[in-house]
Amino acid sequence: MVYSADEIGARVRALGHSIAEAYRPEDSLLVLGLLKGSFIFLADLVREIDLPLQVDFLVAASYGSEKVSSGTVRLLYDPEAPLEGRAVVVVEDIIDSGKTLARLLPRLQERRPRSLEVCALLHKRLVAMEPRWVGFDAPGEFLVGYGLDYSENFRHLPYIASL
């Protein structure tokens, strides 16, 4: 086990409180979850943000059934919520190569949000756009659990483990 359910819970609470401190109720906060991997993290995180907010989703794919990114990011679903003038936080399960965010963030920025930040549960590598909030610096192993999968398996685990 890399991170226990208790460790994850404590860190998610801290992240939610930190995000809540960064915004005001009138900021029209929109939390965008990057599916599928972020869905458990996102659900736990938004319950810890003590502000009015809306939730929408993005779907991108780059892994398929492999343990390494294909390098090609396919966008399968764009959020329907308007971004213009809003405070937007993109929630990502893991930043590995950074290619997904490098493709998504400019596309979201074109919609003119007032601010655009990233909250990642796990962070593996340095990327051009560092997330504002990070749960854990992840080891260089392939991780599963708490939403992270290998070929659509293991997402349901309440902890994070190395495959």
Per residue in 14-23, pLDDT (tens digit) is 999 999 999 9
Min mean pLDDT across 44-48, 93-97, 134-138 is at 93-97
pLDDT of residue 162: 95
Residue 103 confidence class, pLDDT cut points 50, 70, 90: confident
Span 43-52, average pLDDT: 98
Whether 30 has a pLDDT exceeding 80, the answer reads: yes
Span 81-86, average pLDDT: 94
Contact 85, 113 (CB under 8 A): yes
pTM attached to this predicted model: 0.89
Given the residues 27, 96, 137, 149, the one annotated as active site: 96
Tell me the CA distances in angstroms from 22 to 82, 85, 115, 127, one per residue in order. 21, 16, 11, 23
Q: Identify whether 50 is a catalytic site residue.
A: no
Whether 88 has a pLDDT exceeding 90, the answer reads: yes
Q: What percent of the chain has pLDDT over 90?
A: 68
Residue 140 confidence class, pLDDT cut points 50, 70, 90: confident
Tokens of 99: 């290619």
pLDDT of residue 59: 87
Closest CA to 16 of 43, 55, 39, 35: 43
Domains and CATH numbers, the chain: 5-162 (3.40.50.2020)
